[in-house]
Amino acid sequence: MIKVLVPFDFSQTANYALNFATGLSSNYPNIEVTVLHVIETPVATGMGTMGGGLESIPEFENQIFFMELVEARKKQLKKIEEGYNEEAYKVKTKMILGSVFKGISEYINDQDPDLIVMGSKGASGLEEIIVGSNTEKVVRNAKCPVITIKAETEVSKMKKVVFASDFRDSSDEIANRIKRIQSVFDAQFYFVVVNTPGNFETTRESMNRIRAFAQKHHFENIKAEVYNSLSEESGIIEFADDVDADLIAMTTHGRTGLLHLITGSIAEDVVNHSKRPVWTYKTK
């Protein structure tokens, strides 16, 4: 059984992600989709929101509101289970209390899904630099592949996939992951290296590395490309636009802490700014 996790916040992009996840049943036999909703637990401040003291918003009113929210979410999740009822897949729902990212992370560690499909609105400006979105954090930390969705996406129409890499890591694990995408979507694959002014190399060098990777792992139906751009992130997005790709595939090193603040992540930048679905996998 293929286990797919869909973190769900009842937004439109979350619905897109759920539709995409259940749509994978046309390619994956015996698929189980878990819709996970995390309700943020209220933090008692001892003050009203307008600074009016303890009497402004009594604590019991907050508790009543929270309990009503929990009950409303339970009914909404039940409705999802009833609405997505097909023989080709199974949908179950789960609701937990706590912080969103922590709740999702703990569920991933406990249940070990094969794939995460997650809606994303992206992040920009100060939020992107300092905090990042929950989607971005999941991409950075998840042990399994993550597909981020920003618009309604039909699985059956995903026929062009861009795999962006420097192709210096030729591990069997990465190759097998990419082959699995290729078989699931039966898609034309573009293997692309983005050449930038700050990290320039000749086209011959890049093409030789792509060909060596493809030959070592016996890839077929591959187009090798070198694309020039001012940055790797913009080059990947621009190339995907130019070939009208249906999916961008990338690996990420999942850097955290100070190293992440200093070096950033090309994959997370692409997830934030691409309008297309993005498949990411954290390498070891």
CATH number of the domain at 269, please.
3.40.50.620
First to last CA, the chain: 25
pLDDT at 253 over 80: no
pLDDT at 183: 87
Q: Note the pTM of the prediction, 2 decimals.
A: 0.86
Tell me, yes or no, whether 35 lies in a domain: yes
pLDDT at 178: 94
Kindly tell me the burial class for residue 8, based on how many C-beta atoms sit within 10 Å of its own C-beta (0-12, 13-18, 19 or more): buried
CA atoms of 208 and 202, how far apart (whole Å): 10
Average pLDDT over every residue of 165-183: 91
Number of domains in the chain: 2
Tell me, yes or no, whether 61 lies in a domain: yes
**Per-residue pLDDT band at 254 (split at 50, 70, 90):** low
pLDDT at 65: 84
Together in a domain, 137 and 160? no
Together in a domain, 16 and 112? yes
Tell me, yes or no, whether 151 lies in a domain: no
**Per-residue pLDDT band at 26 (split at 50, 70, 90):** confident
Together in a domain, 164 and 100? no
pLDDT higher at 137 or 175: 175
CA atoms of 6 and 104, how far apart (whole Å): 10
Given a contact cutoff of 8 angstroms between Cβ atoms, the answer to whether 155 and 26 are in contact is: yes
**Per-residue pLDDT band at 263 (split at 50, 70, 90):** very low
pLDDT at 131 over 70: no
Together in a domain, 223 and 127? no
Average pLDDT over every residue of 24-39: 91
Q: Kindly report the average pLDDT of the chain as a whole number.
A: 86
Tell me, yes or no, whether 163 lies in a domain: yes
Together in a domain, 131 and 167? no
SS3 30: coil
Average pLDDT over every residue of 58-80: 86
Q: State the residue range of the domain holding 76.
A: 2-141
Together in a domain, 135 and 160? no
Tell me, yes or no, whether 77 lies in a domain: yes
Together in a domain, 87 and 111? yes
Together in a domain, 9 and 137? yes
CB within 8 Å of 19: residues ≥ 6 apart: 152, 153
pLDDT at 194 over 70: yes
Domain boundary among 118, 141, 164: 141
